[in-house]
Amino acid sequence: MNTLWTVIAVLLGVAALLGTIRLLLGPSILDRALSVDALLAFAVTGLGAYAAFNRDPTVLPTLLVLSLLGFVGSVSVAKFVARRTQEDDDDEQIVLPVVENTVEGEGKKS
Amino acid sequence: MSDQIVQIMDWAGILCILAGALLSFIAGIGLVRFPDLLSRMHAASKPQVLGLLLVLVGIGFRLLPAEATGIFSLGTLLLVGLFQVVTVPVAGHIVARVGYRTGRIRHDLVSTDELAERLATRRSAPDTSEDTVS
């Protein structure tokens, strides 16, 4: 059983490493927000494995906080990106990204 | 509870957590290797929902026989799972929408793009757009 716990720890460590690589490489800010979201999921999994290993329910409220933090983080980053590109070009009309390969205005409905 | 039942629950819990960790690992590989934002979102959402629920079930299996307070921690686990299942689709939708609108997805990798067709018709005929697209 101890072997299985070690395997879990190694898998989560490698996953966090790969997520950090994407966080550093990520071409756009949305990729970075996405990888932060995934890293939070890995952190929740790791804290949960810790709680299960020690039979210790102390960290469970932390899981609650982390699961809400991921949502707030990625949504606020996405909204920030949308608003910034809208201010960049004052163009309210929706343009196809295929036709014009530039950043364009976010729709009014958001 | 008898010793045998506790042992069976321990094994079920550790197998659930192992599956969750395996999903996290696969998502890490997908995050690094996949080519654009949408496919990376596809990879990253697996441990956020399925992996997390598996881990929560595993924690429940491990905590339940241990203490008298095990039943209270089940409530917290249920809340964590509920919040995650409610919020992850919303966040994914908003991130994908902003990514599409700001042109950060690769259109050569998308097999069908119905939104582009609808946006094209809306652009060519702006007078009837309120009826057809909203």
Sorted by where each begins, the domain ranges of chain A are 2-88
What pLDDT is stored for residue B66 in this prediction?
Answer: 67
Q: Which residues of A50-59 are buried (b: 16+ CB within 10 A; e: fewer)?
A: ebbbebebeb
Alpha-carbon dihedral of residues B38, A11, A58, B49, nearest 10 degrees? 30
Closest CB to A45 among B20, B73, B102? B20
- Give A93's contacts (C-beta < 8 A, 6+ positions apart): A105, B123
Q: Where are the domains of chain B?
A: 3-125
Q: Indicate which of A10, A45, A75 best probes the interface with B, i.e. most B CBs within 10 Å of its own CB.
A: A45
CA distance B6 to chain A (A): 13
Contact list in B for residue A101 (CB cut-off 8 A) is: 103
pLDDT above 90 as % of chain B: 43
Which has the higher per-residue pLDDT, B67 or B91? B91
Among A20, A30, A49, A9, CA closest to B97 = A30
Q: What are the pLDDT digits (tens) for A49-78?
A: 999 999 888 899 999 999 888 889 888 988
Q: Which residue has the tokens 């949504």?
A: A75
Q: How many CA atoms lie within 13 A of A106 on its CB side?
A: 20
Q: With left for phi above 0 and alpha for psi between -120 and 50, is residue B103 left, alpha or beta?
A: left
